[in-house]
Amino acid sequence: MTRRLPRVDRVGVDERAAMLGRRSIKGEAKQQGIRLAVSMIDLTTLEGSDTPGKVRAIAAKAMAPAPGHPDVPACAAVCVYPELVGAARAAVAGSDVRVASVATGFPAGQTPLDTRLDEARQAVALGADEVDMVISRRAYLTGDDARVVDEIEQIKDACGAAHLKVILETAELGSYDHVRHASMLAMDAGADFIKTSTGKASAGATPGVVLVMLEAIRDHVDRTGRVVGMKPAGGVSTSKQALHQLVLVRETLGTAWLTPERFRLGASSLLNDLLLQYAKATTGRYGRPEDFSKE
Amino acid sequence: MSADQASAAATAAPSSWDYAPAPESTDHVRLADSYGLFIDGEFTAPRDGARVATVNPALEEPLADVAVAGPADIDRAVESARAAQGRWARLAPVERSKFLYRIARLIQERTRELAVVETMDGGKPIKESRDIDVPLAAAHFFYYAGWADKLPYAFSGRDTRPHGVAAQIVPWNFPLLMAAWKLAPALACGNVAILKPAPTTPLTALLLAEICQEAELPPGVVSVLPGDGAAGASLVRHPGIDKVAFTGSTAVGRGIQAELAGRQRPLTLELGGKSANIVFEDAALDQAVEGIVNGIFFNQGHVCCAGSRLFVQESVADVVVEKLWRRMSLLNVGDPLDKNTDVGAINSAAQLARIETLVEAGETAGAQRRSIECELPSRGFWFPPTLFTGVSPAHRVAVDEIFGPVLSVLTFRTQEEAIEKANDSLYGLAAGIWTDKGSKAFEVAAALQAGVVWQNTYNRFDPTAAFGGFKESGFGREGGAAGLRPYVSVT
Amino acid sequence: MRLDVDKTYKLYIGGSFVRSESGRRDPVADHAGDHVANVPRASRKDVRDAVRIARKALPGWRQRTAYNRAQILYRLAEAIESRRDGFVAQAVRDRRISTRQARAELALAVDTVVYYAGWCDKLAGVLGGINPVAAPYLSFSVPEPTGVVAVVAPPEPGLLGLLTELVPVLAAGNVAVVGLSERWPLTGLDLAEAIGVSDVPAGVVGLLSGRTAEIAPALAAHRDVDALVDAGQDEALGGELGRLASASVTRVSRPPLGDYREDAYRLGLGRLEAVIEMKTAWHPVGA
């Protein structure tokens, strides 16, 4: 059956997204925004060279990003590969920081379905609170929506109580029409969150892509009443970009969405830029990278 | 508070996240207390004109005193313009071109200052004057600069002669931009110009006069005479004028046309509109809603080509109106100098009164009115973005130009019905078409009686793209090679 | 007594000043045959590098708005004008012409850049248009840049001829690799400094000094060059270049001989038309 794509005008989307990037956030609003952004970060390390030592370091940072600024909250989660879930679990014990694990053959997803399902189950068994899966682009790009949806449903099942983020890998989908369509498929299949990217592809969470997904969520919530969260990942590395993301959320879905329960930022170097900007906002002085530990 | 406590506090959504005031700084703007008339390359006191304060409509506070022209001043200006025209027209075209390039570059250098003054004098949001009005004004000078030495290519190799002295009357909704639209092509073709800005918004035209001085433009090539309707009428009638260009209301435009009837004086008119913005069921709806909002609330609806009649296909009318209403509620109405303001002040008490009268008429006629809730400042002229549903084509709010942030919503069932209703107007300035189907967009565009048709967008302007109306929205074009035609006679 | 810090002349490729990969150089003399400076003798590999870099720079240059390109070229005019005294002094010294003549030439050169800058956003309107086809279709034709254009600069001193052949290529949206005059390369390499500060993106213009008989055939034979503007005024070489270019259907244009000081020779549509391709599109009209 041929797919019926929703209609999205790219030029219009990009204009609106850019206009929202020109909002001027100052003073207390900026400080509040930075604190919000920190609380929404899934502090991420997804490298072949990750070890328990590395994971312990980022977990400590996620739990207390800025010891000198006690009003800066902890991050939402740490995000790691399945083999590091155990170390992450131990490292965040006693705090509210969650453990998210990528699974399902991240990032390309080109492994047999049973191994992907098994990986998800194991990640949860090792202690992951959240699973970030990737959709099958092979299925999507050959027009097999039914398979895309079926796989998500099965993986959701395999996750049990853990909540599921579905990564669309928007840079590979081809157009905003497809981003919207894939968002809808993922939400219909039961995603708890939809996520833009793995961070390993050519582009990540550009403002236009994020706006398209937020609009898709808006329509889904209107239609079904079920809230689905949103996680931009990849390409958000400065405070300005993070605040832009918050503006996109506020002016598309409303202030009720400015919570880590509904919005996360997948990032690694972003955190230190937020802290630097926070220090500037509260002390009035421009900082240097060494003002905050890199890990 | 520990990080954990801060976390717990941060997990719940905040009750609000307002952006905080973000005022554009005005301390680098140096406005004189008082401005003279710009005649023969100098600012000079009026001989028989007066001085009038120009007021900031957001604060109801005076900004500066501005001289307004009397009959003797108009005589003086015309005389100096006539004296300058011959030499200007005989300059090597590349030299004329370079003057216009200089003006463009100087406008670019002074963008911030011009944007702030435009906002203070007229009430439009700083983000519009900064991002649209001033850059486009510079772009118009830049574009027409490049035509000055290439005129034969715009006229298929035919010979052309400038008319001579052009009287150019511009309105208060885009003061600097309209001045650029008028001056740039006129000068490029070898004319000289006498510009009469609107009474409520003279300041950026006067700063443009300063720019002309800085560019060393020969005296008399550009004159700037602030004045009222009477001054405009005298200027238009003056025997020393060779060409008239007017942008403003249809009522005044008709009057000018009547005044000039029978005289061999070329005239172009850019008048009012009641433009149709047509949303088909197969449109990209979220972007269409943005286009509707942009079409009527941009510049508070003080736009001749505003999409003030929304025609939405009945099958998607409820969805579109619901999305539109939610989107309207996000509009920030307030201090025009705040960088986050989307909708600024109404230009004058008189204009506000006109809007209120027409909105009342709409309610009386039985249409359903909804205005967004917003905190409006206690001083200044304000009107909240407003939606009328249940509008019939005969209602005044569907027929008369309101020139404010008021949208009338009507529905249609088929493409033919949409076209017929859209064309059912004495106006014919612009139209919008929202559909994902290219062949439909082009077919409807061909059928609409409008000089500018926007497909899947609205309120897009570019110096290369001709702009102007059909029917009682006026005649003549501005922009593109077509924009040169009104300023020459072709032999 | 003060020792001057003499300039080392280099090729301009990819927005940088580089030596020839061959390491070779040639002396340049003034009007009387006295040595002035050395310039790099660009090799086939330099040509290959310049073309590769130009090709990479093309999408970015083409995608800019015509208005943006116009502003960049106007800024180039500003940059040359602000260096007027330097160019004039060099011309007077190396060519033994009067200051008055040198200034007049430079003024014409700057005005020529301004002239072509003004064409960027008008070309589509003048050369393109709607085709009123006899069927329910919207059909339009637009001029597009040909792509990577090689320019054999005229064998003239000064900037006038060089800019006349180079700037229209850029105004039409192309990128350019220029083989400079063999006899008079210094002003061309100095022009690179003005180009560098003018917001012209790196790679859009490549300037190569050296021997025309080596550089020009390398350009003409290169299959990834889309067009060749041969202003070299050498008939024999021109024939060879034409034959080499034909192997990949590279478009060749040779401006007729003329006087660069004449407006009618320098200005007009001809040099723009030589480096554009018309694209025609059709779309049905009818729901």
Residues C97-127 have pLDDT tens digits of 999 999 999 999 999 999 999 999 999 999 9
- Answer yes or no: do B485 and B451 share one domain: no
B14 inside 8 A of chain A by CB: yes
As a whole number, the mean pLDDT across chain B is: 96
Inter-residue contact A270 to A41 (CB < 8 Å): yes
Flag if A96 and B4 touch (Cβ within 8 Å).
yes
Shortest CB distance from C117 goes to which of B146, B440, B444?
Answer: B146
Is pLDDT of C233 > 70? yes
CB atoms within 10 A of CB B413: 10
Counted domains in chain A: 1
Instruction: Give which of B388, B382, B383, B386 is closest to B363, Cα–Cα.
Output: B388
Is pLDDT of A109 > 80? yes
Contacts of B223 (CB under 8 A, 6+ apart): B37, B38, B39, B40, B77, B80, B81, B193, B194, B195
| Residue B196 main-chain phi, psi, to 5 deg | -115, 105
Residues B285-331 have pLDDT tens digits of 999 999 999 999 999 999 999 999 999 999 999 999 999 999 999 99
Shortest CB distance from B442 goes to which of C111, C121, C285?
Answer: C285
- Answer yes or no: do B288 and B165 share one domain: no
Counted domains in chain B: 2
As a whole number, the mean pLDDT across chain A is: 96
- Answer yes or no: do B291 and B398 share one domain: yes
pLDDT band at B10 (very low <50, low <70, confident <90, very high): low
Residues of A in contact with B284 (CB under 8 A): 7-9, 12
Residues B117-167 have pLDDT tens digits of 999 999 999 999 999 999 999 999 999 999 999 999 999 999 999 999 999
Give the domain range for residue A176: 10-283
CB pairs under 8 A between A and B: 111
Residues of A in contact with B287 (CB under 8 A): 8-9, 12-13, 16
- Answer yes or no: do B237 and B367 share one domain: no
Residue at A4 is within a domain? no
**Which of B2, B15, B19 has the highest number of chain A CBs within 10 A, making it the mutation to test binding with A?**
B19
Report the pLDDT value the prediction gives residue B6, as an integer from 0 to 100. 59
Residues of C in contact with B101 (CB under 8 A): 74, 114
Q: What is the mean pLDDT of residues A141-157?
A: 97
Flag if C122 and B439 touch (Cβ within 8 Å).
no
Give the domain range for residue B393: 276-463
Residues of A in contact with B8 (CB under 8 A): 96
Annotated catalytic residue within A132, A145, A192, A273: A132
Q: Residue B453 and residue B313: Cα distance in Å, rounded?
A: 18
Report the pLDDT value the prediction gives residue A1, as an integer from 0 to 100. 63
Q: Percent of chain B at pLDDT above 90? A: 96
Inter-residue contact B27 to B195 (CB < 8 Å): no
Residue at A295 is within a domain? no
- Answer yes or no: do B258 and B406 share one domain: no
Residues B424-465 have pLDDT tens digits of 999 999 999 999 999 999 999 999 999 999 999 999 999 999
Q: What is the mean pLDDT of residues B469-487?
A: 97
Q: Residue A222 and residue A219: Cα distance in Å, rounded?
A: 5
Report the pLDDT value the prediction gives residue B235, as an integer from 0 to 100. 97
- Answer yes or no: do B435 and B296 share one domain: yes
Q: What is the mean pLDDT of residues B369-384?
A: 97
pLDDT band at B4 (very low <50, low <70, confident <90, very high): low
Q: Percent of chain C at pLDDT above 90? A: 100
Residues B394-423 have pLDDT tens digits of 999 999 999 999 999 999 999 999 999 999
Domain with B309 in it: what CATH number?
Answer: 3.40.309.10
Is pLDDT of B377 > 70? yes
- Answer yes or no: do B376 and B424 share one domain: yes
CA angle C6, C11, C17 (to 5 degrees): 75
Q: Residue B248 and residue B232: Cα distance in Å, rounded?
A: 11
- Answer yes or no: do B120 and B235 share one domain: yes
Q: Which long-range contacts (CB under 8 A, 24 or more apart) does C230-237 make?
A: C230/C152, C230/C254, C231/C151, C231/C152, C231/C153, C231/C154, C231/C161, C231/C165, C231/C255, C232/C152, C232/C153, C232/C154, C232/C155, C232/C179, C233/C154, C233/C155, C233/C257, C234/C155, C237/C212, C237/C213
Q: What is the mean pLDDT of residues B221-227?
A: 97
- Answer yes or no: do B261 and B320 share one domain: no
Residue at A25 is within a domain? yes
Is pLDDT of B5 > 70? no
Q: Does A contact B via 3+ CB–CB distances below 8 Å?
A: yes
A32 inside 8 A of chain B by CB: yes
Flag if B457 and A12 touch (Cβ within 8 Å).
yes
Q: Residue C205 and residue C113: Cα distance in Å, rounded?
A: 15
Inter-residue contact C37 to C7 (CB < 8 Å): yes
CA angle C69, C75, C76 (to 5 degrees): 90
Consecutive H or E run containing C11: strand C11-13
Annotated catalytic residue within A30, A61, A231, A273: A231
Report the pLDDT value the prediction gives residue A295, as an integer from 0 to 100. 72
Flag if C122 and B147 touch (Cβ within 8 Å).
yes
Residues C122-158 have pLDDT tens digits of 999 999 999 999 999 999 999 999 999 999 999 999 9
Q: What pTM, to 2 d.p., does this model score?
A: 0.95
Residues of C in contact with B444 (CB under 8 A): 287
- Answer yes or no: do B481 and B373 share one domain: no
Measured in angstroms, the CA of A254 and the nearest CA of chain B are apart by: 9
DSSP C153-201: --S-SSSHHHHHHHHHHHHTT-EEEEE--SSS-HHHHHHHHHHHHTTPP
CB pairs under 8 A between B and C: 69
Domain with A181 in it: what CATH number?
Answer: 3.20.20.70
Residues of A in contact with B14 (CB under 8 A): 32, 36, 255, 258
Domain with B132 in it: what CATH number?
Answer: 3.40.605.10
Measured in angstroms, the CA of A113 and the nearest CA of chain B are apart by: 35
Strands B37-39 and B42-44: antiparallel
Q: Which two tokens stand for residue C272?
A: 């723009």
Instruction: Give which of B439, B302, B443, B269 is closest to B383, Cα–Cα.
Output: B302
- Answer yes or no: do B254 and B288 share one domain: no
CA dihedral A49, A52, A55, A59 (to 10 degrees): 180
Q: Is A263 left (phi over 0), alpha (psi -120 to 50) or beta?
A: beta
Predicted ipTM of the assembly: 0.94
**Right CATH for C11-284 from 3.10.20.30, 3.40.50.2300, 3.40.50.720, 3.40.605.10:** 3.40.605.10
- Answer yes or no: do B369 and B250 share one domain: no
**Domain segments of chain C as ranges:** 11-284
Q: Does C contact A via 3+ CB–CB distances below 8 Å?
A: no
Instruction: Please give the sequence-ordered ranges of beta strands (E in DSSP) within B260-385, or none if there are none.
Output: 267-270, 276-279, 309-313, 368-371
Neighbours of chain B (3+ CB pairs under 8 A): A, C
Residue of C nearest to B436 (CA): C287
Inter-residue contact A73 to B7 (CB < 8 Å): yes
Residue of B nearest to A98 (CA): B7
Is pLDDT of A291 > 90? no
Residue at B468 is within a domain? no
